[in-house]
Amino acid sequence: MSTTKEVPPPLRLMERLETYGYLSVGISFLLLGMAVFAHGWFQFARSAVDNLARAALGLLNDLLLVVILLELFRITVDFLKTRAISLEPFLYIGIIAAVRKVLTIGAEMVLAGEVSTTRFTQYLLDVAVHGGVIIALVIGLYLYRRTRVAESPTRP
């Protein structure tokens, strides 16, 4: 006597559609990452002669976005393999996104030349908030990994 239950056909159809949905989203993340990568290098090559620092800032921003898109792609692939989603990749994405913002606003301040007191105060507030986010996410990542190691069975 088998304990496995027969899955009703509508549910099988829904599961198949869900898989196709995740496949299309994953492929979209990958294609979008490739497009941003190509566009970033194209823009860099086009504008590096006029202003290398601004071109490098734009390329760095685009490359960090590509890393975020590739992490989302990896999450989608892992979900399709295991049908489980891990917290760890989302912590990485949050850290990368916050670092990307800090680098972008810092470079914009340097490239702007003279800055008003109001704008400088806003810059310091932005850096403090994003720095706090980075620290919180790194602590969260540390604690998450620590609990995962504690939960895993010990090897002989």
Q: Does one domain contain both 75 and 139? A: no
Domain shared by 74 and 108, yes or no: no
Q: 78: Cβ–Cβ under 8 A, 6 or more apart, which residues? A: 84, 85, 86, 89
DSSP 8-state code for residue 114: S
Number of helices followed by number of strands (H, E) in the chain: 4, 0
User: What's residue 4's pLDDT?
Assistant: 65
Q: What is the mean pLDDT of residues 22-30?
A: 97
Q: 84-138: per-residue pLDDT in tens?
A: 988 999 999 999 999 999 998 888 887 877 888 998 899 999 999 999 999 999 9
Does one domain contain both 78 and 96?
Answer: no
48: helix, strand or coil:
coil
Q: Has residue 32 been placed in a domain?
A: yes
Q: What's the pLDDT score for residue 108?
A: 82
Lowest mean pLDDT among 42-46, 109-113, 143-147, 150-154: 150-154
Given a cut of 90, is residue 2 above it in pLDDT?
Answer: no
- Do residues 24 and 48 share a domain? yes
What per-residue confidence (pLDDT) applies to 1? 52
Residue 4 lies inside a defined structural domain of this protein: no
Question: Cα(8)–Cα(2) distance, rounded to whole angstroms?
Answer: 17
SS3 at position 119: helix
Condensed to tens digits (0 to 9), the pLDDT of residues 67-78 reads 999 999 999 999
Residue 27 has pLDDT above 90, yes or no: yes
Residues 107 and 68 in one domain: no
Q: How many domains does the chain have?
A: 2
Cα–Cα distance measured from residue 72 to residue 150, given in angstroms and rounded to the nearest whole number: 27
pLDDT at 3 over 80: no
Q: Is residue 38 part of a domain?
A: yes
The identity of residue 116, as a single letter, is S
The pTM score is 0.82
Q: Could you tell me if 140 and 151 lie in one domain?
A: yes
* Domain closes at, from 83, 100, 126: 83
Q: Are residues 124 and 136 in the same domain?
A: yes
Of 35, 59, 83, the one marking the end of a domain is 83
Q: Are residues 94 and 78 part of one domain?
A: no
Give yes or no: residues 66 and 95 share one domain.
no
Query: Does 74 share its domain with 13?
Result: yes
Residues 48 and 98 in one domain: no
The answer as to whether 1 is a domain residue is no
Average pLDDT, the chain: 91
pLDDT at position 106, please?
A: 85
Percent of the chain with pLDDT over 70: 94
CA–CA distance, 57 with 65 (Å, rounded to integer): 12
Final residue of a structural domain among 54, 83, 112:
83
Question: In 10 A of CB 132, how many CB atoms?
Answer: 11
Question: Encoding tokens for residue 95?
Answer: 């850290």
**Enclosing domain of residue 52:** 9-83
